[in-house]
Amino acid sequence: MSLGIQDFDFELPQELIAQHPASPRDHARLLVYDRATGTIEDRFFYELGSYIPSNTTMVVNNSRVEKCRLLFQNGAKELFVLKSLDPYRVEALVRPGKKFKVGKEVDLEAGIRAKVQSVQPDGLRILELSHAIDDSKLDEFKYTPLPPYIEQNEDLSEEYQTVYAKEEGSKAAPTAGLHFTPRLLNSLKEQGVSLEELTLHVGMGTFAPVKSESISDHIMHEEQYYLPTDVASRLNKAQHITAVGTTSVRVLESVVQRVEGGEDRISNRMFTAGTGSTDIFITPGYSYAGIDALITNFHLPKSTLLMLVSAWVGLEEMHRIYAHAIAEKYRFYSFGDAMLLK
């Protein structure tokens, strides 16, 4: 079956796009979907423990969001730094693009300049900065990269980090994890739930839009991940795995191998530890091997994240779940509510 971008479209009322997180975090709503029965329940995130097995291993992404958005002239010029190539050269998205042409040196603010060395087909620029990217002179211009549908508000900076964030490097938050509080995590552990951490630094592989009409023509950007050896060893013995967020899914599905001849699901899969990059693109028809349940937020229309969810529950069921969420006025996107798809 050949799927097009329109197969993943839906209409979302503007007022359902969350501008602030729930408070407390775990008081976000939770849509619970059972793949075996097709049933949908409307709950709250703090009730999560009642809907996941006590023997599950919950896998979270501990990446921390870095202040990679540089705003100059009251936001009239922007560098969204995706990668530092050396102290002075960066790979970045820019705005407005017409001012950043190859060979041009752009005055940003306060004597800070950026010379455009190259423009890639996807619009990314290689820039040579007049000051090192970690120069303190740049600090006042660095902001947390809140999504474009959320008004820039640095007061929300810590709200846009998970409570277990450690390894700085993400350009966007692994948002499914934003709903956890220390109290909820402790109660889940007391229930018997195991918690394991991996790292995937969120970049364009997660948030780049799909521009091709046929999804098979979309090329994913690579993102860096790390799965520690001791974590992989425990995952190989896990009875049940609940992935927290699509980023955790992408790591697990990138490093899992199917083992022929295993007697049950546990012995049928083997996770390999290591550091690497992944450009895995999960779409309907994909056969999952590394997870048994998924916690995720409600995603943008036509996004690769929505396609990943559709591969887990089925395309028609994804649309039914989203129609239910819209009818029940769930809050959408990064600061919105969550789903448990089990």
Alpha carbon distance 247, 61 (integer Å): 7
Question: CA angle, 333 as apex, 59 and 79 as ends, to 5°?
Answer: 95
pLDDT in tens, the chain (342 residues): 589 999 999 999 999 999 999 999 999 999 999 999 999 999 999 999 999 999 999 999 999 999 999 999 999 999 999 999 999 999 999 999 999 999 999 999 999 999 999 999 888 999 999 999 999 999 999 999 998 889 888 999 999 999 999 989 999 999 999 999 999 999 999 999 999 999 999 987 677 778 888 888 888 889 999 999 999 999 999 999 999 999 999 999 999 998 876 566 666 899 999 999 999 999 999 999 999 999 999 999 999 999 999 999 999 999 999 999 999 999 999 999 999 999
Q: 38-43: which pairs have CB atoms within 8 A and are 24 or more residues apart?
A: 38/317, 40/321, 40/324, 42/328
pLDDT given at position 152: 84
146-167 exposure pattern, b = at least 16 Cβ within 10 A, e = fewer: beeebeeeeebeebbbbbbbee
Q: Which class is domain 69-143?
A: mainly beta
- Structure letter (DSSP) for residue 51: T
pLDDT given at position 268: 82
Handedness of CA 287, 291, 294, 299 (dihedral sign): negative
* Domain boundaries of the chain, sorted by first residue: 5-65+156-341, 69-143
Phi, psi of 244 (to 5 degrees): -95, 100
CA 295 to chain centre: 12
Question: What CATH number is given for 5-65+156-341 in this structure?
Answer: 3.40.1780.10
Query: Position of tokens 């028609």?
Result: 316
The first and second tokens of residue 292, run together, are 């048994």
Closest CA to 196 of 165, 234, 167: 234
What pTM, to 2 d.p., does this model score? 0.93
